[in-house]
Structure 1
C-alpha cells in the first residue's frame, strides 16, 4: 500500500505528460505524396497484396487525390478522389470507383469514409492516424446485403 501511495504522483505525471492523439485532417494528410501497402481479402478466396501510390493537391477547397492502385496479379489502375470539407470534420466528394457521393467524418484521430462502389457494395473505411501524423491504418469493409464480402487492411504513409 505504501508503494502505491508513493507511486501515485509519478503515475499522474506520466499520464499528464502523454500528448493527446492527433486530429485526423484528411485534406492535410492526403496532400502531397502517399503510399499504401496492404492485404485485400475477398470471402472464400485467397488474399492478395495491394500497393497504392497517391498524389494529392488542393484545387480551391477541394482535395484532388490521384492514385495508382496495383493489386497483385493485375495491371495498375488509376482512380481519383475529390474531397472537400463541408463543415468542421465533415467531408463529401466523389471517387471514380463509387456510385454517387462519398461521405466522411472525423472523430479525433479517426476518419470514417462511406460510399457505394460501382459494383453495388456498401463500402466503409476507418482510418486511424498514428501519433506522429505521418502514417495511418486503413480498415476497409465491403458488404452486400449486409454481409461482409471483402476487407482491406492497409498502412498508408506520407512520403513528403
Structure 2
C-alpha cells in the first residue's frame, strides 16, 4: 500500500509539473535571437485569423505595421483589414524597461502589457478590451511570438475570460526589406 501511494504521488507530481506554463526562458538558447528593436523597425505585413474555441475560423485579416524606435521607446502603428471589409487601427507604445523586459500600452489595452523576450521568443500578457455586438469584454491575452528568420515571425495568442479559453489568434509577420 505504501508503494502504491508513492507511485501515485510521483505520477501526480509529474502531471502537475508538466502542466506548468511555458516560460520565455525556455527559449534562451534558440536562434536566431530576437532583437525587438531591430525586428519591429520599418514596415511589416501580417496575415492572420481568429478561431473560436471549437477551432472554427471566425475572422481573417491582414495587418500593415509601421514601426519606429526612439531610444528605448517604440511605436507600432497597426492597420487591420478584416475579411468582411471592416478596418481597425491600434497604436502600441513599447518601452524597454530592462534587458528582455518590455511594457506596452495601446488605447484598447486595459492597463499595461507585460512582455518578456528570450532567445527567439517574445511573450506578451495583457488584457484587451474587445468590442463584440455592441458590448466590450475584457479578454486575457497570452501572446507568443517566435522569430523564424530575419524576416518571418509566427504569432499565436490564446484568449480567455476568467481562465476559460475562448479562442486563438494566429499570425504570420513578414518584414519588408529596407
TM-score by length of 1: 0.81
Correspondence list, 1:1-160, <5 A: 21-43=31-53, 46-118=57-129, 119-130=137-148, 132-160=149-177
SS at match of 1:73: coil
Q: Distance between the aligned counterparts of 2:86 and 2:59, measured in 1?
A: 14
Equivalent pairs counted in the alignment come to: 140
Q: Distance between the aligned counterparts of 2:35 and 2:108, measured in 1?
A: 22
Instruction: Give structure 2 stretches of 5+ with no counterpart.
Output: 1-29, 130-136
Deviation track 1:79-99 (CA, whole Å, cap 9, x = no partner) reads 101001111111012022211
Deviation track 1:62-87 (CA, whole Å, cap 9, x = no partner) reads 10010101121142111101001111
CA contact (8 A) 2:49 2:57 kept: no
The runs of 4+ residues in structure 1 deviating greater than 6 Å are none
TM-score by length of 2: 0.74
- Per the TM alignment, residue 39 of structure 1 is displaced from its structure 2 partner at its CA by 1.6
CA contact (8 A) 2:47 2:62 kept: yes
Q: Distance between the aligned counterparts of 2:50 and 2:36, measured in 1?
A: 22
- Per the TM alignment, residue 59 of structure 1 is displaced from its structure 2 partner at its CA by 2.8
Deviation track 1:110-154 (CA, whole Å, cap 9, x = no partner) reads 000111011311101100001x32110000111011111121111
CA contact (8 A) 2:90 2:107 kept: yes
SS at match of 1:23: coil
